[in-house]
Structure 1
Amino acid sequence: MLQRTLQRLCDLEVDARYTWELIVVDNNSTDNTAQVIDRFVDALPIRAVHESKQGHSRSRNRAIAEATGDYIVWTDNDVLVCTRWLSAYFDAFTAEPDLAFFGGVIEPVFDPPGRPDWLAATWEKCKPVYAARDLGPMPVELNESRLPYGANFAIRSDIQRKHLFDPSLGRVSSAMMGEDETQVLRQIARSCGKGRWVPDAKVQHIVPADRATERYVRSYFIGQGMANVALNKSCKTRVAAFLDSVWQSLLYRIKRNCTDPDEWVSHLICSGLSWGEYFALTARRRNGKRESV
């Protein structure tokens, strides 16, 4: 996937108005990431850095420490950018230099065999799982209640350095907890003001076939449930979260083959959220016990 991402970045329409650098953070990869990066050293202003502390937030913070530009534009290694991606952002930066953050379109693209019928039928409920984001063709204001998503956003560097990513949030290894980017963007919106939607800064988010599954949707919402506890958004007790997770899981299994997807996917989502809350509350309880010994 990184190979595809870097190959598409080679097609960017870059002009003389600005310079740019591409920082790739290697967070303890065990494959041929380094060799893939080496293939592009003559084609891109690419610089690889290694972050030994595991986690999405720690990797983003390492990138912030390494970046030298006036703005930091974020994307992921499973994303294909449009040719005007950087230029569209640059136009927005120069038009409104006082704004703190910016964001653009994310269009999920499913690898063969494509998006399954059950997912298409429940897309409004499931599209956050695949980072789908489109606020329309006009450059509308971004604020605390209307934010970009993590695969395609930009922040002024001076502001970004005052708002680092929380290592207690975000994915670590195979864990699915998110909210790291959203939390930072909310903080910036509260303290530094407004942002701007940049409709021409478009990317495609590639979805491999093994993510177009019920299991992956459930894993995403487990992570969301864990994040809800970390951010104190959940008011459930540990017992209540466990009982609800079992009940919702049972309803999902019962209805899976006898009702419309819209109904059983709702139970799948609720079970994932409750399991995530239960796991997080259990971990919090254990940590509390350790601290009191």
Structure 2
Amino acid sequence: MDTHVPQLPPIQVTELDLDGPEGAVLSFGPALDAAEPAAEGDVYALVRLRGRPVATIVCHVPPGEDPATTVAAAARAHLKGARPARDDLTAGPGGDDRTAGPADGPPPRVSVVIATRERADQLARALDSLLAQDHPDFEIVVVDNAPVTGATQDLVEHKYADRVRYAREAVPGLAIAHNRGVAVADGEVIAFTDDDVVADRRWLSTLTAPFAADPGLGCTTGLILPAKLGTPAQILLESHGGFAKGFAPRTYDPADPPADEPLFPFTAGSFGSGANMAFRASALRAIGGFDPATGTGTPARGGDDLYAFVSVLAAGHRLRYTPEALVWHHHRETWRDLTNQAYGYGAGLTAYLTALLVRRPALLPVLLRKLPRGLAHARTITAHRDSGGAVVPGAHGAQDHPWPRHLSRLERRGMLAGPLGYARARRRVRGVPLPWDRDNR
């Protein structure tokens, strides 16, 4: 088994703000306040134009050179080469949005739900970033999922008293914890993020503004970038896609399926991820919330977010990807974490498809028509990247580090195990009432 861990030096994560694609540097510095300023070595930079995220670049800062000058030059060269996207680079917020007009009235009240389990230190970092949001009307709900200690409750009730609501969910599983948050939330929109992120100050405003502009919108997702690239596992994950879905805003409309996604709406992984998503509360409750037999903490291993995305689209609502809504995600650091993640991705993919067939059998004919292409797509996304494929960035640009074959095999094993894992998880929650049903007893 090719389990050799590549030796990759750390890559610094930073931000650069330019006054236009070829303009002056407005600001340059670490992506997060706790990080050290960029110095010589490999640098991964988020490029903004007057505050708006438009690209990421990786470059090498030689000894003795000014990091800001080097990174800015690399960013301008990248943007200059992005000719097809230049209109997008200079446009204001909205991009391709043909369904949303100017918002009428104040932004909707939002409930931000974070499910967590025994990670109080990480949770505190995430909460600090959420309390600094510029949205004028929101609440934060922390759901303590199957806790074994009182650390999370103590943190919320002592450090964040009167600013964060605490809820406890005894049944393990990310989806059912999210459902507990849905049950207690009072916002017109419910946003979800994870305890291992740091949210950009405008994250909540930009993620939820489209709901005021588009009454038919059921869900929004946003951009997820790495907070740190300090270990081989973090670098390899990010160099082969990470969680980012690009910098072009996009609206997915079930009434007008995208021509470039023939598997739509079953390509839910292209819509976004659970660390950065929001739903119109009425739409999420109408589909029954998240399937409690999916998600981290269950034998299904994942798929809770994918199930919700497809279910909202199947109910006739639109879904909007908004890259200006940014969170920085702390990728897992160890090689064991990455192998577990690879298996979980595969399991979650087929678990969510199983959940759709079990809970929404009307989708079966559509899925069967698309199944052959879907199987080919699944094989493609888990295929081993040969030496001409993805490249680990920075100083490693001349040396390829393909996605290891054993990780591809783990993903495929996870795909095979996903339906069984979902069945096991479903048996575990059988007879357990949903949080809102428990609350009404």
TM-score, shorter chain, exceeding 0.5: yes
Greater C-alpha Rg:
2
**By how many angstroms is 1:270 displaced?**
1.3
Match for residue 140 of structure 1 among 241, 244, 250? 250
Q: TM-score, normalised by structure 1?
A: 0.73
What is the rounded CA distance, in whole Å, between the counterparts of 1:275 and 1:96 in structure 2?
38
**By how many angstroms is 1:220 displaced?**
1.6
Greater fraction strand: 2
What is the rounded CA distance, in whole Å, between the counterparts of 2:336 and 2:187 in structure 1?
40
What is the rounded CA distance, in whole Å, between the counterparts of 2:421 and 2:190 in structure 1?
37
> Which residue does the alignment assign to 2:328?
204
Does the aligned pair in 2 maintain the 1:176–1:222 contact within 8 Å? no
What is the rounded CA distance, in whole Å, between the counterparts of 1:53 and 1:282 in structure 2?
17
**By how many angstroms is 1:91 displaced?**
2.5
Assess, with a 3 A threshold, how the Cα gap between structure 1 residues 29 and 121 changes in structure 2: closer, same or farther: closer
**By how many angstroms is 1:95 displaced?**
1.8
**Larger RCO (CA within 8 A; separation ≥ 6):** 1
What is the rounded CA distance, in whole Å, between the counterparts of 1:54 and 1:84 in structure 2?
32
Identity between Structure 1 and Structure 2 (%): 27
What is the rounded CA distance, in whole Å, between the counterparts of 2:423 and 2:189 in structure 1?
37
Q: TM-score, normalised by structure 2?
A: 0.50
Assess, with a 3 A threshold, how the Cα gap between structure 1 residues 152 and 100 changes in structure 2: closer, same or farther: same
Does the aligned pair in 1 maintain the 2:198–2:328 contact within 8 Å? yes
> Which residue does the alignment assign to 2:153?
34
Q: Classify the secondary structure of the residue corresponding to 1:110.
A: coil
Gaps of 5+ in 1: 236-247, 249-258, 289-293
> Which residue does the alignment assign to 1:57?
175
> Which residue does the alignment assign to 1:256?
none
What is the rounded CA distance, in whole Å, between the counterparts of 1:229 and 1:102 in structure 2?
23
Letter in 2 for 1:218: T
- CA RMSD in angstroms comes to 3.1
User: Quick check: 1:171 aligned with 2:296?
Assistant: yes
**By how many angstroms is 1:224 displaced?**
3.0
User: Quick check: 1:277 aligned with 2:416?
Assistant: yes
**By how many angstroms is 1:99 displaced?**
1.0
Does the aligned pair in 1 maintain the 2:347–2:411 contact within 8 Å? no
What is the rounded CA distance, in whole Å, between the counterparts of 1:140 and 1:284 in structure 2?
34
**By how many angstroms is 1:166 displaced?**
1.2
User: Quick check: 1:186 aligned with 2:310?
Assistant: yes
> Which residue does the alignment assign to 1:109?
227
Letter in 1 for 2:401: P
What is the rounded CA distance, in whole Å, between the counterparts of 2:410 and 2:317 in structure 1?
36
Greater fraction helix: 1
User: Quick check: 1:160 aligned with 2:281?
Assistant: no
What is the rounded CA distance, in whole Å, between the counterparts of 1:80 and 1:119 in structure 2?
16
Letter in 1 for 2:152: T
What is the rounded CA distance, in whole Å, between the counterparts of 2:235 and 2:161 in structure 1?
40
Assess, with a 3 A threshold, how the Cα gap between structure 1 residues 148 and 68 changes in structure 2: closer, same or farther: same
Does the aligned pair in 1 maintain the 2:300–2:348 contact within 8 Å? no
Match for residue 80 of structure 1 among 175, 198, 212? 198
Gaps of 5+ in 2: 1-121, 254-264, 355-366, 372-383, 385-398, 428-441
Letter in 2 for 1:134: K
**By how many angstroms is 1:274 displaced?**
1.3
User: How big is each residue's C-alpha offset from its partner over 1:177-219, in whole Å with a ceiling of 9 and x where there is no partner?
Assistant: 1111111101111222322222221111123xxx233322221
> Which residue does the alignment assign to 2:184?
66
User: Quick check: 1:221 aligned with 2:221?
Assistant: no
How many pairs are equivalent?
246
Letter in 2 for 1:103: T
What is the rounded CA distance, in whole Å, between the counterparts of 1:95 and 1:275 in structure 2?
40
Assess, with a 3 A threshold, how the Cα gap between structure 1 residues 27 and 123 changes in structure 2: closer, same or farther: closer
Assess, with a 3 A threshold, how the Cα gap between structure 1 residues 23 and 281 changes in structure 2: closer, same or farther: closer
> Which residue does the alignment assign to 1:244?
none
**By how many angstroms is 1:275 displaced?**
5.6
Letter in 1 for 2:313: A
Does the aligned pair in 1 maintain the 2:345–2:414 contact within 8 Å? no
What is the rounded CA distance, in whole Å, between the counterparts of 1:283 and 1:85 in structure 2?
33
Letter in 2 for 1:183: Y
> Which residue does the alignment assign to 1:254?
none
Does the aligned pair in 1 maintain the 2:143–2:180 contact within 8 Å? yes
Assess, with a 3 A threshold, how the Cα gap between structure 1 residues 70 and 281 changes in structure 2: closer, same or farther: closer
**By how many angstroms is 1:56 displaced?**
0.6
What is the rounded CA distance, in whole Å, between the counterparts of 1:200 and 1:177 in structure 2?
29
Does the aligned pair in 2 maintain the 1:176–1:220 contact within 8 Å? no
268-277 vs 75-84, greater mean Cα deviation: 268-277
Q: Classify the secondary structure of the residue corresponding to 1:161.
A: helix
Q: Classify the secondary structure of the residue corresponding to 2:154.
A: helix
